[in-house]
Structure 1
């Protein structure tokens, strides 16, 4: 779901249009998405010249509510929803807003609208100016949230979006060369290129992107799998769309979903290790790993019954 808000000035209009349309086309070309799985809510819902065919609705409250309702009707437990915001942000803390057509929407409002997706994995990439407060409102356990700025005082239009999209283009951000791009890889690619951009310009950076994936709304500027933020983002892939349940029985599909839920719970628990007494942490981790091993064994029995019976 791509939300591209309105702007003023021809230069900004062209830039936002380029980012929104490029992201749409890259997802379709490189990651297997289709018109059924990409929704673009753009400005007032149309543009002059070519490109209108990509647009599904205007980026206004009515359009956002309608698209979220449509998503709710088609997603399944364990599906991944990615929301990408392009445009202007304003305000701070509880009053932080994403500028849309008509009355702007606050982070708290948008967070409440997303509460219906408590059975889905969610990635939110907020590339607007002054994005921090809005992004912090969307933080939650099991979510990966990227903010192009670290505070609401960073009000100049960021270039982060340009490099995040570049990371996806032809999988430029695929650092580990597994032919997939994770949110962590895309974030680090964009962050590095933003820093180089300001160095080459001889300017102090007016934006500092952060990532939160443990639900504490404290965004890390340097997320890694060894730190508090970064573990979930490492396994959150842009191309998480391939239907790998074809040919599986209903029971095998159920077990596969169970395995994915348990794997996700393990990553979340590891990210929250500092919040637990050591004995409690290891006890909870052991329960999850045992359940995961049991579900994996049952899944393998469903998929390869002959092979399992010979062991």
Structure 2
């Protein structure tokens, strides 16, 4: 009797946790291109930035949810929303906190140069640089959002510790501030999101984990094929321990480890609501909400009684199947010719 009572109490706790997730969360993206120092680097960082911006919009993010701050606004007035000064970056993160809602996903991606061997880890910007602790303080305003923070600059490894936290994915191009040579990680990361290259499971979207894994493989291939000693070793941290891992696992991992949250966060949406009927839009929103509750449940598996976990998962999978059937019926009705 005690066991049944405990299981019921735990089940009610799980249900309460899962209802925190919104039925349909939005995704927001901020891309920052830092100081190039030379025209070649300025052009490279701009190219990488625009590839991510364009990929996000193509994947279904509304243009108003995408902001690009660049080194020089006149480089691309159509895409660049402002200059990437420290003041503008902090102001935009604050604006993201105002624009987004509880449970939304917020992506922040930095392309550029960095340093950290002889002082606090920093990302080089026009004017005053921002150090890792300043980014960490700014992210506190996004505490009830899921955040993906990617610093694809040289010497970026020192950002892992200060920015690590619950509900955050932190990716750096290097493992320490001492790896200060030119970094190619950002280019491969941008390639992962731009098209199907990074979509390992072929579901039409690229997760943070898939993009990281693709960039890691391509970096390894580049250095090996060119007979060079590898000078950049990327890390991903999303378990909040501030250490990071070069080989993170996914949500199906048997134990808590880096990569589980990253495997559930996508830079894009499954469908463009503008192309759907009102009925299909409502069903799609319901499906996204159920899928998110499944993802949250999987993240909590180690803390739950296995019987309770499997029972909750089964109920959610049944809900998902019912909504999928309704979507199929709605699609069939929509395709029928009018009498």
TM bucket normalised to smaller? 0.7 to 0.9
Instruction: Please list the CA deviations of residues 202-231 of structure 1 after superposition, one character each: whole Å capped at 9, or x if unmatched.
Output: 101000111111111111111122361122
The answer to whether the aligner puts 1:286 opposite 2:308 as a matched pair is yes
Counterpart-to-counterpart distance in 2, 1:253 and 1:76: 19
Give distance in 1, aligned partners of 2:98 and 2:310. 30
Question: Contact 1:259/1:292 (CA < 8 Å) preserved in 2?
Answer: no
| 1:46 pairs with 2:68 | no
Q: Structure 1-normalised TM-score?
A: 0.80
Change (3 A) 1:124 1:2: same
Offset of 1:282 from its aligned partner? 3.2
**Pick aligned residue for 1:70 from 95, 98, 105:** 95
CA distance in 2, matches of 1:246, 1:80: 25
Instruction: Give the direction of change, closer, same or farther, for the CA distance of 1:66–1:221 in structure 2 (3 Å limit).
Output: same
- Give the unaligned 5+ runs of structure 1: 274-280, 305-311
SS in 1 for 2:194: helix
* TM-score, reference length from structure 2: 0.74
Question: Which piece of structure 1 moves more, 207-216 or 89-98?
Answer: 89-98
Secondary structure of the residue that 2:261 maps to in structure 1?
helix
Question: Do 1:265 and 1:288's aligned partners in 2 also have CA atoms closer than 8 Å?
Answer: no
> Counterpart in 1 of 2:37?
8
Q: Partner residue of 1:309?
A: none
Partner of residue 121 from structure 1, selected from 110, 127, 146: 146
Runs of at least 5 residues in structure 2 that lack an aligned partner in the other structure: 1-29, 327-339
Moved more, 172-181 or 254-263: 254-263
Is 1:84 matched up with 2:109? yes
The alpha carbon displacement at 1:159 in A equals 0.5
**Residues 41-190 of structure 1: matches in 2 within 5 Å?**
41-43=69-71, 45-48=72-75, 51-91=76-116, 95-190=120-215
Q: Deviations over 1:6-58 (max 9, x none)?
A: 12122212211211222222222x31234311100111x4234xx22211111
What is the distance in 2 between the residues matched to 1:254 and 1:65? 32
**Equivalents in 1 of 2:122, 2:133: separation in Å?**
9
Please tell me whether the aligned partners of residues 205 and 270 of structure 2 are also in contact (alpha carbons under 8 angstroms).
Answer: no
Instruction: State the 1:4 CA deviation.
Output: 0.8
In structure 2, what is the Cα distance between the partners aligned to 1:265 and 1:93?
40
Q: 2: CA distance between counterparts of 1:296 and 1:152?
A: 48
Maintained 8 Å contact 1:76/1:120: yes
Q: Distance in 1 between matches of 2:91 and 2:227?
A: 45
Q: For each residue in 1:72-124, what CA deviation from the matched residue of structure 2 results, as whole angstroms up to 9, or x when unmatched?
A: 22212221111111011111598111111222111111111111112211111
Aligned equivalents of 2:88, 2:166: Cα separation in 1: 27
Aligned length: 290
SS in 2 for 1:85: strand
Give 3-state SS (helix, strand or coil) of 1:144's partner. Answer: strand
Name the residue aligned to 1:21.
Answer: 50
For 1:269, which of 276, 300, 303 is the aligned residue? 300
Q: What's the Cα RMSD here?
A: 3.4
Q: Is the 8 A contact 1:175 1:185 kept in 2?
A: yes
Change (3 A) 1:18 1:101: same
